[in-house]
């Protein structure tokens, strides 16, 4: 029976639904696991990845379902809600289903975005544990990342204090790190804009090396990106050796391997390769594993969780960050290439309200009532906005997948508006279904479940957008034209110089192309909604992540440390001191 989300807040629904969390024994039964393959951890056990994947390595994979969306707007599209809703809908159809979602960061949880646990009756539980640290993976990432910073700064201090002969007595060689060419910074899992730029090492010669430094948010760490793409512990260990912390005075990279800290970093993170189990409010299992940025990194839950899910479930659901131009593109050309897994279907989430904004609807101001365009029927605005949806349907189809459009229903929508979106989606070659999972849970997602199961019966001729042999600048050109709809690419002199260097060095031949641009538009300009025409993509720089093996062409500025707003969520989060229950999460 669904709860009433028009009356109850998400944390209240989550609290009421906690009786639906499967026991360890139930998880074993539902997922075909053996007793020693579950690592107990209160309400949220971990799965022993190495044991499960070894035992089930020859078992055929289930159906692989990816969830993406139209270009985001402040009105929301509901990818996480839909990911959970389709699990519930498939569960109502009696199939063995589960999924994988990213772990939320404390930054948005305590700020304005919330926990990404879904919402209404399409919600992940236990919500408190999910939102507040879960089983400690982000804490392990912070410790391992900051250990590398400790190692670097200590080495710089000792090299400043000792000559080469004294260093040799300690079995050290001079790395000669350039304090003006440091790549790495510290991390903390909050949106702390006051730490974006700092001076550290104030004091005497024993107080560390004085230098400019910085903080980023923990989920933006390269270690989080590595967790998402690593295939196993050995792969993770090898990648940790090649993280670039800075450059020496000759301009050569200095790595965590050079600092001899990579083994200790792996020790901190050895348990993070094991995904954590949560559940929907209707009891379907869902892995929570990794949570990397979607702009500089891959923006997906882990390859590891998908590998296990496809062995344990007949239908496995995974979500991509941001819209199909970023999230699906990286799922398609990076995650699937690294994992070797081939998707059966992609769900493109759209809402009537968001499509109206892409059709030219007025700006939305937080704290003020929505303009009438978003709460009353307006078919003209909606039809114009559907251009964005059609563009992204066509992007997905280029991979060989026939997409399913989920019209994520809101109570202000009208039947005529739903019918219009459905008709346009079907004319573009997609299946489409209206889904009311937020309001009704699995019972509201039955049409969506039927469309997805029907799509999974089709043969998929999956193809990547570009071959690995294609040079970097040609890859970027193809992504810009085929995915974003740009007329071409303009390279800043610095970016072109770097691109030529990467293209000429065989070391970078298998590095993934991880585009960096605004998620709020198909273009680099966040204010350009719909499907912009007559523009070129400017690339101003290229970031390098040596451990993750990413080359990140940058089409815009990016901050790895978000800021906390004037009205953050932490003002409303509290604990009942008699029961210990947390209130106010959303």
Active site residues: 79, 81, 102, 113, 294, 322, 410, 438
Q: Which DSSP state fits 548? A: T
CA-to-CA dists, residue 577 to 515, 572, 574, angstroms: 46, 15, 9
Q: Integer distance in angstroms from the first to the last C-alpha of the chain?
A: 21
CA dihedral of 183, 185, 189, 194, whole degrees rounded to 10? -120
State the Cα–Cα distance between residues 526 and 520, nearest whole angstrom: 5
**CB proximity list for 501: less than 8 A, separation 6 or greater:** none
Q: 312: which 2 tokens?
A: 């344990």
Closest CA to 270 of 425, 148, 143, 416: 143
* Beta pairing class for 122-125 and 198-200: unpaired
The residue count for the chain: 586
CB atoms within 10 A of CB 171: 7
Closest CA to 123 of 353, 448, 442, 412: 442
Burial of 23 (0-12, 13-18, 19+ CB in 10 A): exposed
Residue 121, CB-side half-sphere exposure with 13 Å CA sphere: 21
- In three-state secondary structure terms, 228 is helix
State the Cα–Cα distance between residues 154 and 563, nearest whole angstrom: 29
State the Cα–Cα distance between residues 251 and 443, nearest whole angstrom: 60
Please, what sign has the CA dihedral across residues 389, 392, 394, 396? Answer: negative
State the Cα–Cα distance between residues 181 and 251, nearest whole angstrom: 8
Q: 536: which 2 tokens?
A: 């070129």
Rg value, the chain, Cα: 24
Residue 536's Cα: distance from chain center in Å? 26
State the Cα–Cα distance between residues 79 and 124, nearest whole angstrom: 13
């Amino acid at each position: 029976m669904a709860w009433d989300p028009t009356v109850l807040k998400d944390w209240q629904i989550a609290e009421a639904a906690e009786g639906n969390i499967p026991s360890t024994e139930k998880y074993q039964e539902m997922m075909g696991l053996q007793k020693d393959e579950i690592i107990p951890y209160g309400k949220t056990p971990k799965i022993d990845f190495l044991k499960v994947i070894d035992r089930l390595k020859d078992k055929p994979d289930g159906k692989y379902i990816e969830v993406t969306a139209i270009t985001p707007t402040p009105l929301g599209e509901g990818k996480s809600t839909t990911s959970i809703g389709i699990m519930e809908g498939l569960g109502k159809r009696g199939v063995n289903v589960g999924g994988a979602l990213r772990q939320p960061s404390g930054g948005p949880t305590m700020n304005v975005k919330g926990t990404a646990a879904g919402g209404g009756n399409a919600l992940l539980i236990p919500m408190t544990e999910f939102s507040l640290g879960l089983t400690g993976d982000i804490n392990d990432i912070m410790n391992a990342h900051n250990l590398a910073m400790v190692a670097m700064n200590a080495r710089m201090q000792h090299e400043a204090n000792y000559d080469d002969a004294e260093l040799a007595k300690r079995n050290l060689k001079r790395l000669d790190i350039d304090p003006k060419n440091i790549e790495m910074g510290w991390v903390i899992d909050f949106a702390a804009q006051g730490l974006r730029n700092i001076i550290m090492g104030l004091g005497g010669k024993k107080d560390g090396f004085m230098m400019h430094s910085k903080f980023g948010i923990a989920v933006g760490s390269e270690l989080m990106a590595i967790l998402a793409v690593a295939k196993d512990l050995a792969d993770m260990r090898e990648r940790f050796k090649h993280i670039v912390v800075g450059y020496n005075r000759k301009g050569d990279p200095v790595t965590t391997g050079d600092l001899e800290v990579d083994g200790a970093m792996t020790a901190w993170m050895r348990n993070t390769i094991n995904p954590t189990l949560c559940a929907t409010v209707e009891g379907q299992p869902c892995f929570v594993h990794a949570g990397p940025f979607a702009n500089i990194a891959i923006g997906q839950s882990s390859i590891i969780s998908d590998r296990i899910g496809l062995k344990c479930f007949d239908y496995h659901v995974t979500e991509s960050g941001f819209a199909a131009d970023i999230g699906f593109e990286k799922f398609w050309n990076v995650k699937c290439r690294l994992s070797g897994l081939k998707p059966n279907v992609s769900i493109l989430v759209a809402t009537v309200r968001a499509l109206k904004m892409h059709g030219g609807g007025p700006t939305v101001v937080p704290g003020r009532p929505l303009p009438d365009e978003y709460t009353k029927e307006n078919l003209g605005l909606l039809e114009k906005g559907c251009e964005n949806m059609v563009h992204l349907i066509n992007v997905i189809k280029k991979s060989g997948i026939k997409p399913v459009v989920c019209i994520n229903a809101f109570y202000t929508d009208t039947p005529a508006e739903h019918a219009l979106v459905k008709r346009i989606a079907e004319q573009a070659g997609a299946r489409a279904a209206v889904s009311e999972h937020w309001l009704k849970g699995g019972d509201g997602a039955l049409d969506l479940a039927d469309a997805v199961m029907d799509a999974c019966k089709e043969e998929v001729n999956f193809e990547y957008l570009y071959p690995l042999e294609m040079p970097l600048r040609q890859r970027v050109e193809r992504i810009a034209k085929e995915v974003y709809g740009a007329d071409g690419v303009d390279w800043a002199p610095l970016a072109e110089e770097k691109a030529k260097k990467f293209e000429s060095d065989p070391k970078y031949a298998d590095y993934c192309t991880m585009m960096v641009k605004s998620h709020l538009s198909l273009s680099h300009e966040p204010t350009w909604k719909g499907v912009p025409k007559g523009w070129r993509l400017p690339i101003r720089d290229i970031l390098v992540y040596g451990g993750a093996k990413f080359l990140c062409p940058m089409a815009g500025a990016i901050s790895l440390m978000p800021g906390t707003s004037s009205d953050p969520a932490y003002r409303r989060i509290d604990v009942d001191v008699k029961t210990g229950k947390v209130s106010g999460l959303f």
